[in-house]
Amino acid sequence: MKLGVTRSVGLVGLDGTIVEVEVALGSGLPRTVIVGLPDSALNEARERCRAAIAHVGLTWPSQLVTISLSPAALPKSGSHYDLAIMAAVLTATGHVSPPARLRGCVILGELALDGRVRAVRGILPSVLAAQKAGCRHVIVPAAQVAEARLVSGIKVAGVATLSELVAVLRGGVAALPTPAVVPDVVDPPSTPDLGDVAGQVEARWAVEVAAAGGHHLYLHGPPGVGKTLLAERLPGLLPRLGQAESLEVSAIRSVCGLGLESGLVTRAPYSAPHHSASVAALVGGGSRVASPGAVSLAHHGVLFLDEAPEFRPTALEALRTPLESGQVVLLRSQAQTTYPARFQLVLAANPCPCGMRESSGIECTCAPMAIRRYKERLSGPILDRVDISCHLKPMTQSYLRAARGAMESTRVVAERVLVARERQRARLGGLPWPTNAAVPGPWLRRELPLPVGVEMLDTHVAKGLLSARGVDKVLRMRCTRDCHS
Ligand SMILES: [Zn+2]
């Protein structure tokens, strides 16, 4: 029996495991079998490989070809195993004999029927897993060499076609020993500037304070007053991501199939799902192994829910766990997948379903009952976690004209936010919470001297106007006021 062995990576969430791909050519009826919990995309690998092999002038072995992927208990999904399977088959048939330095090399990529190598999802976390497992070389689709090279200490070869893979495996390509260079971090295309938002002084302040303390924010007011404009500018006010945060955010983008051509993500991400989004689109989903949703794409950044009351109640309900724990745990038939989801939530809502209630000149057509139901959709557990609520009023054109050009830019405000964040870090030094927003109520009540005007808090609690959680919010906002002045 002839054997060929190569390696690839299986991803569950952002965690990669080295998968050994073994191919055995044996006697028996000529057919190809894949074993080791493959999904349908992986099962179709044999059809893609059989078609692609003709483009290097070879034919698929007319024997019993058994392809085994181990560890067998790990569910394997996706088409990125194609190249590793093909390399193992070519090794078993004796068409290639990889040099010693390439044995144990991790191979990732999908084959097209005409022998081209296609890009696949999850290159960054897969190469990170290869690096952790001690691999020295990886072979990836040529289009994704830059992404693979974000991982230091590993040599990367890019192949655009099956013929190039054969050439690399025969050791005839000098591309492989090139040193892995971590490219310079490139800033994403310019983010929208806060200086473009005229007027709305109070709401601008609310956004700045939210950025300073990491607080969730609720913006409400009629359409066109600038709720979306302000939410879009919040990520620009947040500090740059640290090295570990940057790797996590980039790995999530990679798993979602979003490109990393310009290097690691270094700015806080922004995710704004439409209100018709399903629960799976919002928090993640999938049939066998779950993929990340909008909450994970907003990890270390901002999740903006425009027209929040229009979201399905089940979708809003699904936000509670990530808001509480900073992660999403998705149980599927073959694996439990965990994705990080620690985001800053910005909710926006109109005053009524038609949106015209506070607009002058246009009559609101909503029944009082409909308005009440609309407002109630956001009440309770979600709003309980939102520290800042801000009402935006329509601005008059003359005020807008006067205010235009005189507004502070993102750069100026971000500097103040950074100072506030540094003060918080010093104050919370040694504690597990990075921002004031994350500090739990019991700690606030135990450790903080009660603010001036505490009698007023007492009165409000006695009258039922303020809940225990409401008192916590007041204390938490006071912490941020102390840091941000
Ligand atoms: Zn209305």
Cβ neighbours around 369 below 10 Å, total: 8
Highest mean pLDDT among 95-109, 391-405, 437-451: 95-109
Measured in angstroms, how far is the CA atom of residue 357 from the centroid of ligand 1? 5
Which pLDDT belongs to residue 464?
Answer: 78
Measured in angstroms, how far is the CA atom of residue 414 from the centroid of ligand 1? 36
Measured in angstroms, how far is the CA atom of residue 241 from the centroid of ligand 1? 41
Cβ neighbours around 174 below 10 Å, total: 9
Q: CB burial class (10 A; 0-12, 13-18, 19+) of residue 315?
A: buried
Residue with tokens 């008192």: 471
Q: For residue 8, name the pLDDT band (cuts at 50, 70, 90).
A: very high
Same domain flag for 454 and 374: no
Region 427-437: what's the mean pLDDT? Answer: 85
> What are the φ and ψ backbone dihedral angles of 28, each rounded to 5 degrees?
135, 180
- What is the per-residue pLDDT across 11-44, written as a single tens digit (0 to 9) for each? 988 999 999 999 999 888 889 999 887 888 888 8
Measured in angstroms, how far is the CA atom of residue 349 from the centroid of ligand 1? 12
Residue 174 has pLDDT above 60, yes or no: no
Cβ–Cβ under 8 Å, residues 141 and 24: no
Q: For residue 412, name the pLDDT band (cuts at 50, 70, 90).
A: very high
Measured in angstroms, how far is the CA atom of residue 367 from the centroid of ligand 1? 8
Measured in angstroms, how far is the CA atom of residue 464 from the centroid of ligand 1? 29
Q: Report the distance separating Cα 112 and Cα 107, nearest Å.
A: 16
Region 349-358: what's the mean pLDDT? Answer: 88
Measured in angstroms, how far is the CA atom of residue 117 from the centroid of ligand 1? 54
Measured in angstroms, how far is the CA atom of residue 395 from the centroid of ligand 1? 19
117 in a domain, yes or no? yes
Residue 371 has pLDDT above 60, yes or no: yes
Same domain flag for 219 and 164: no
426 in a domain, yes or no? yes
Select from 355, 274, 261, 349 the least CA-distant residue to 315: 274
Q: Give 406's contacts (C-beta < 8 A, 6+ positions apart).
A: none
Measured in angstroms, how far is the CA atom of residue 108 from the centroid of ligand 1? 54
Q: For 431-438, which contacts have Cβ atoms below 8 Å and span 24 or more sequence positions?
A: 434/214, 435/213, 435/214, 435/215, 436/213, 436/214, 436/215, 436/476, 436/479, 436/480, 436/483, 437/213, 437/214, 437/215, 437/216, 437/344, 437/387, 437/476, 437/480, 438/214
- What is the per-residue pLDDT across 112-139, written as a single tens digit (0 to 9) for each? 999 999 999 999 999 999 999 999 899 9
Measured in angstroms, how far is the CA atom of residue 67 from the centroid of ligand 1? 62
Measured in angstroms, how far is the CA atom of residue 310 from the centroid of ligand 1? 14
186 in a domain, yes or no? no
Select from 169, 80, 82, 159 the least CA-distant residue to 125: 80
Same domain flag for 407 and 308: yes
What residues make up the domain containing 68?
2-169
The answer to whether the Cα torsion of 434, 440, 444, 447 is positive or negative is negative
367 in a domain, yes or no? yes
- What is the per-residue pLDDT across 219-247, written as a single tens digit (0 to 9) for each? 999 988 899 999 999 999 999 999 889 99
129 in a domain, yes or no? yes
Q: Report the distance separating Cα 238 and Cα 260, nearest Å.
A: 21
Measured in angstroms, how far is the CA atom of residue 224 from the centroid of ligand 1? 15
Measured in angstroms, how far is the CA atom of residue 313 from the centroid of ligand 1? 20
Residue 185 has pLDDT above 60, yes or no: no
Which pLDDT belongs to residue 78?
Answer: 85
Region 85-109: what's the mean pLDDT? Answer: 88
Q: Give me the number of domains the chain comprises.
A: 3
Strands (E), 13-162: 15-26, 31-35, 64-70, 106-107, 110-111, 117-118, 137-141, 155-159
Cβ–Cβ under 8 Å, residues 63 and 25: yes
Measured in angstroms, how far is the CA atom of residue 86 from the centroid of ligand 1? 61
Select from 187, 191, 182, 166 the least CA-distant residue to 111: 166
Flag whether the pTM goes above 0.85.
yes
Same domain flag for 139 and 251: no
Which pLDDT belongs to residue 435?
Answer: 87
- What is the per-residue pLDDT across 189-220, written as a single tens digit (0 to 9) for each? 567 888 888 888 899 999 999 999 999 999 99
Measured in angstroms, how far is the CA atom of residue 356 from the centroid of ligand 1? 5
* Percent of the chain surpassing pLDDT 90: 48
DSSP letter for 290, please. -
Q: Report the distance separating Cα 444 and Cα 479, nearest Å.
A: 9
Element (H, E) at 402: helix 397-403
Same domain flag for 415 and 454: no
Q: Which two tokens stand for residue 52?
A: 């692609």
Measured in angstroms, how far is the CA atom of residue 358 from the centroid of ligand 1? 8
Domain boundary among 136, 169, 202: 169
Same domain flag for 14 and 102: yes
Which pLDDT belongs to residue 178?
Answer: 46
Q: Report the distance separating Cα 254 and Cα 262, nearest Å.
A: 12
Domain boundary among 169, 186, 217: 169
The angle subtended at Cα 313 by Cα 309 and Cα 315, nearest 5°, is 100
Q: Which two tokens stand for residue 319?
A: 């936000």
Measured in angstroms, how far is the CA atom of residue 98 from the centroid of ligand 1? 70
DSSP letter for 41, please. H
Same domain flag for 154 and 285: no
294 in a domain, yes or no? yes
Same domain flag for 476 and 413: no
Q: For residue 172, name the pLDDT band (cuts at 50, 70, 90).
A: low
Show the DSSP H helices in 68-141 as ranges: 82-92, 123-132
328 in a domain, yes or no? yes
Measured in angstroms, how far is the CA atom of residue 370 from the centroid of ligand 1? 9
- What is the per-residue pLDDT across 374-409, written as a single tens digit (0 to 9) for each? 988 886 778 888 999 999 988 777 666 766 667 888
Indicate the range of 162-176, 300-314, 348-362, 421-435 predicted with least confidence: 162-176
| Distance of alpha carbon 286 from the chain centroid | 16
Measured in angstroms, how far is the CA atom of residue 384 from the centroid of ligand 1? 25
| Distance of alpha carbon 401 from the chain centroid | 39
Same domain flag for 475 and 390: no
Report the largest interatomic distance among the alpha carbons of the chain, rounded to a whole angstrom. 87
Q: Report the distance separating Cα 83 and Cα 109, nearest Å.
A: 5
Q: Which CATH number covers residue 97? A: 3.30.230.10
Instruction: State the first-to-last Cα distance of the chain, in angstroms, to the nearest integer.
Output: 75
Show the DSSP H helices in 188-286 as ranges: 201-213, 227-237, 243-255, 279-283
Domain boundary among 153, 169, 185: 169
The rounded radius of gyration (Å) of the Cα atoms in the chain is 27
Q: What is the mean pLDDT of the chain?
A: 86
Same domain flag for 388 and 258: yes
Indicate the range of 141-150, 185-194, 452-461 predicted with least confidence: 185-194
Same domain flag for 244 and 389: yes
Same domain flag for 415 and 391: yes
Measured in angstroms, how far is the CA atom of residue 476 from the centroid of ligand 1? 34
182 in a domain, yes or no? no
Secondary structure (3-state) at 139: strand
The answer to whether the Cα torsion of 468, 471, 476, 479 is positive or negative is negative
Measured in angstroms, how far is the CA atom of residue 359 from the centroid of ligand 1? 9
Measured in angstroms, how far is the CA atom of residue 362 from the centroid of ligand 1? 10
Helices 243-255, 123-132: axis angle to 10 degrees equals 120
